[in-house]
Amino acid sequence: MAACCTTTWHWVDPDLGAAKAAAVLRDGGRLGVFWNCGRPEPEIRATFERIYAEVAPGVDSHSVVLGRLGDDRFDVAADAIEATRQFGPVERTAHTWAQRYTTSEWLDHLPTHSDHQGLPDRQLDRLLGRVAGAIDERGGSFLTGYDTVVIAATRRDARST
């Protein structure tokens, strides 16, 4: 049995989430939480940062689509899992990969992020329009590198805790 949380664990109270995961997992069950941390190519990233600063100030300082994490979410998750004393050693791994996005693929991707969903419709439309123009000026696509950071642990035998 496994419990997995993909790119949303930071919305969960870390102590409560870890305790709930321990309560529902059987001995030997695995808990895994992960985030995809994007790194757009430097030139397009700089262009995006200028656009965000003008059109969506504040989002530019923390948006994961611009390569910002802005906090210690990995340490917080690992510490909370360890604090339950219900799991074996917490493992942290990172997997590096890359994705080329076309303009339309990137514009489909952006509104899936909560920081973009929170923008008023007119502001989001303006942001997407400016971003589309920037990608189109570069030939209609760009490369984003990713580090997928995984925090995982195995549920200990309940009799040993």
Domain boundaries, the chain: 2-160
Give the list of residues 6+ apart from residue 43 with CB closer than 8 angstroms, or none: 138
In this prediction, residue 71 carries a pLDDT of 59
DSSP E strands, 48-122: 91-102
Residues with pLDDT less than 70, the chain: 69-71, 158-161
In this prediction, residue 106 carries a pLDDT of 97
Three-class SS state of 90: coil
In this prediction, residue 70 carries a pLDDT of 52
Q: What is the pTM of this model?
A: 0.81
In this prediction, residue 31 carries a pLDDT of 96
Q: Which CATH superfamily does the domain covering 2-160 fall into? A: Vaccinia Virus protein VP39 (3.40.50.150)
**Separation between Cα atoms, residue 143 and residue 141, nearest integer Å:** 7
pLDDT in tens, 37-51: 888 999 999 999 999
- Name the residue among 113, 102, 112 with its Cα closest to residue 135: 102
pLDDT in tens, 89-116: 999 999 999 999 999 999 999 999 888 9
In this prediction, residue 161 carries a pLDDT of 53
In this prediction, residue 141 carries a pLDDT of 98
